[in-house]
Amino acid sequence: MSVELEQIASSAVQLAMDAGATDAECTIAEGSEFEVSLRKGEIETLKQAGSRGVGIRVLRGQRAGSAYTSDLTPEGIVTMVTSAMEIAEVTSEDPFAGLPDRGLLGKIDVDLQLFHDDVESVTTEAKIEMARLAESTALAADPRITNSEGASFGSGEGRRVFANSRGFVGSYRYSSCSLHTVPVAKDGDSMERDSWSSSARSFAKLESPEEVGKKAAARVLRRLHPRKVATQKCPIVLDRRMARGFASHLFEALNGSSIYRKSSFLAGKLGEKIAVDGLTLIDDPTIPGLFGSYPFDDEGVPGRRKVVIENGVLRSYLLNTYSARKLGLETTGNASRGLSGNAGVGIGNFYIEKGSVSDDEIIRSVKSGFYVTELIGSGVSVVTGDYSRGAAGQWIENGELVYPVSEVTIAGNLRDMLMKIDAIGSDLEFRGSIASPTLLIGEMTVSGQ
């Protein structure tokens, strides 16, 4: 299959070159998905299917044009290439447009273990049973857990193929699976939901259904009867899932496209101290088995590890070829795109390095503050750094979690938050392509009553 798709991609590039393109690049994505969801032990949905698509980007001199289609027949490809060539007549001359230099192209040759055939070998019955067990474990955990939004098991595999007119052709296969459950707890007039999920590239790495069910149950129970605390300034502890969200804002702020457009509060700060001493942030697409790993980026440049923030000093932006040229730098192998269009910027495994204290010790160190376990809304601007989001979690009094809190917001500015990280936990774990240990932020504004 991979040979066939690589041939299709190469021939699409050749078609474009024959039609007068000066350069061309082609992406093919193929994937299949399976998902079963249950609620109260009964199957709700069972979905299984696959699809594929192809996209092309052509250059006519310094003008780019893109097109995509789900029709991979020879006629479909011809129509797509013709369409992209037409589009390249109406776009503008862009002196910075272009493919990566030949010397930068390549793939890392370590086996990144992105595909595991154990995912495919699990029977549908076994998948259903796992979802059932995750949900029933959560429902059995406490009489106050009376309802459920269900549980699901999802799995998928796919292949990504890329070819360009500078001699690059490559493909890689990947797999993933996940188990998820959402219990609902009720006590008096308080009703809350929470969830837990485990996901991995290999079936063997998934947490057990019992573990998923127990964690979901513990999370929902501690939310019952929340209070709305008074408006105040206080220390904020972000649990590692919420700290991931914080790291994702840093990614947006370090995205080369925002840097050259000066639409990030971190633009122009290379080499400057932007965070506390202990903060080190890494982007590494080369760690085997993880969700953010890739042998080559979406322009055919090998993935590589880079230290983004080193002990509080900004060392690198995240760049594709275009943003690198705009900034007079070299691509960091972070090109990312769907099927077509100009490449954007993505991440490998983007994580805050772990510190030396446990999450428990961090909570114990807080006299009065807010342990945040959920954030909603998107009130974060990487242009200004302004940060304001809805929050829920637990109140900390003298180092102890004393009662649940909800219907409040936490607010501040990313610039200040980076300089006020007072503690970094030792509990780093990779659940997706972004990861962070628990973080203690010295002071933010909690808005409540």
Partner 1 sequence: MAFRESFFAVRFGLTEHDLERYLTAALASGGDYADVYFEYLSTTNITIDESIVKSATQGVTMGVGVRVISGEKTGYAYSDDLSPERILQAAKVASRIASGPSKIEKTGLDEAPRRNLYPVLTSSSDTSLAERVALVKRAEQAARAADARVFQVTAVYADALKHVLVATSDGALSFDRQPMTRMNVSALAKIGDGVPQQGYSGAGGRVGLEYFEKTTPESISEEAVRQAIVLLDAVEAPAGEMTVVLGPGWPGILLHEAVGHGLESDFNRKGVSAFSGRVGQQVASPLCTVVDDGTMDSRRGSLNVDDEGVMSQQNVLIENGILRGYLTDKLSQRITGIQSTGSGRRESYQHIPMPRMTNTFMLAGESDPQEIIQSVQKGLYCANFAGGQVDITSGNFVFDATETYLIEDGKVTRPVRGATLIGNGPEALKWVSMVGHDLKLDQGVGVCGKDGQYVPVGVGIPTIKIDKITVGGTGA
Q: In the range 193-222, which residues lie near partner 1 by CB under 8 A?
A: 193
Query: Which of residues 192 and 359 has its CB atom nearest to partner 1 in the complex?
Result: 192
Query: Which of residues 261 and 364 has its CB atom nearest to partner 1 in the complex?
Result: 261
Question: In the complex, what is the shortest distance from the CB of residue 71 to partner 1, in angstroms, rounded to a whole number?
Answer: 7
Q: Is 125 in the site for partner 1 (CB under 8 A)?
A: no
Q: Considering only residues 141-160, where is the footprint of partner 1 by CB under 8 A?
A: 147, 149
Q: Is 378 in the site for partner 1 (CB under 8 A)?
A: yes
Question: In the complex, what is the shortest distance from the CB of residue 368 to partner 1, in angstroms, rounded to a whole number?
Answer: 17
Query: Which of residues 21 and 67 has its CB atom nearest to partner 1 in the complex?
Result: 67
CA angle 291, 295, 297 (to 5 degrees): 90
Question: In the complex, what is the shortest distance from the CB of residue 280 to partner 1, in angstroms, rounded to a whole number?
Answer: 27
Q: Is 277 in the site for partner 1 (CB under 8 A)?
A: no
Query: Which of residues 94 and 210 has its CB atom nearest to partner 1 in the complex?
Result: 94
Query: Which of residues 365 and 447 has its CB atom nearest to partner 1 in the complex?
Result: 447
In the list 39, 173, 269, 305, the residue contacting partner 1 (rule: CB under 8 A) is 39
Rounded CA separation 258/267 (Å): 8
Q: Is 175 in the site for partner 1 (CB under 8 A)?
A: no
Q: Considering only residues 232-261, where is the footprint of partner 1 by CB under 8 A?
A: 261
Residue 278 · residue 354 · CB < 8 Å: no
In the list 98, 156, 341, 399, the residue contacting partner 1 (rule: CB under 8 A) is 341
Q: Is 3 in the site for partner 1 (CB under 8 A)?
A: no
Query: Which of residues 226 and 369 has its CB atom nearest to partner 1 in the complex?
Result: 226
Question: In the complex, what is the shortest distance from the CB of residue 327 to partner 1, in angstroms, rounded to a whole number?
Answer: 13
Q: Considering only residues 256-275, where is the footprint of partner 1 by CB under 8 A?
A: 261-263, 265
Residues 6+ apart with CB under 8 A from 171: 2, 5, 6, 159, 160, 161, 162
In the list 45, 101, 126, 364, the residue contacting partner 1 (rule: CB under 8 A) is 45
Q: Is 7 in the site for partner 1 (CB under 8 A)?
A: no
Q: Considering only residues 91-110, where is the footprint of partner 1 by CB under 8 A?
A: 91-94, 97
Query: Which of residues 302 and 404 has its CB atom nearest to partner 1 in the complex?
Result: 404
Query: Which of residues 10 and 381 has its CB atom nearest to partner 1 in the complex?
Result: 381
Query: Which of residues 236 and 363 has its CB atom nearest to partner 1 in the complex?
Result: 236
Residue 85 · residue 58 · CB < 8 Å: yes
Q: Considering only residues 398-437, where is the footprint of partner 1 by CB under 8 A?
A: 406-413
Query: Given the rule CB under 8 A, which of 3-11, 234-242, 302-310, 377-385 is the region that contacts partner 1?
Result: 377-385
Q: Is 389 in the site for partner 1 (CB under 8 A)?
A: yes
Question: In the complex, what is the shortest distance from the CB of residue 290 to partner 1, in angstroms, rounded to a whole number?
Answer: 22
Question: In the complex, what is the shortest distance from the CB of residue 92 to partner 1, in angstroms, rounded to a whole number?
Answer: 4
Q: Is 65 in the site for partner 1 (CB under 8 A)?
A: yes
- Distances in Å between the alpha carbon of 337 and those of 24, 297, 346, 434? 15, 9, 8, 18
- What are phi and psi for residue 164, nearest 5 degrees? -140, 175
In the list 98, 156, 289, 448, the residue contacting partner 1 (rule: CB under 8 A) is 448
Q: Is 377 in the site for partner 1 (CB under 8 A)?
A: yes
3-state secondary structure the chain: CHHHHHHHHHHHHHHHHHCCCCEEEEEEEEEEEEEEEEECCEEEEEEEEEEEEEEEEEEECCEEEEEEECCCCHHHHHHHHHHHHHHCCCCCCCCCCCCCCHHHCCCCCCCCCCCCCHHHHCCHHHHHHHHHHHHHHHHHCCCCEEEEEEEEEEEEEEEEEEEECCCCEEEEEEEEEEEEEEEEEEECCEEEECCEEEEECCHHHCCCHHHHHHHHHHHHHCCCCCECCCCEEEEEEECHHHHHHHHHHHHHHHEHHHHHCCCCCCCCCCCCECCCCCCCEEECCCCCCCCCCCCECCCCCECCCEEEEECCEECCCECCHHHHHHHCCCCCCCEECCCCCCCEECCCCEEECCCCECHHHHHHCCCEEEEEEEEECCCECCCCCEEEEEEEEEEEECCEEEEEEEEEEEEEEHHHHHHCEEEEECCCCCCCCEECCCEEEEEEEEECC
Count how many Cα atoms sit within 13 Å of the Cα of residue 116 in the half-sphere of its side chain.
Answer: 19
In the list 86, 111, 277, 400, the residue contacting partner 1 (rule: CB under 8 A) is 86
Question: In the complex, what is the shortest distance from the CB of residue 164 to partner 1, in angstroms, rounded to a whole number?
Answer: 17
Token pair for residue 324?
């690198």
Question: In the complex, what is the shortest distance from the CB of residue 29 to partner 1, in angstroms, rounded to a whole number?
Answer: 12
Q: Give the number of residues in contact with partner 1, rule: CB under 8 A.
A: 77
Q: Is 356 in the site for partner 1 (CB under 8 A)?
A: no
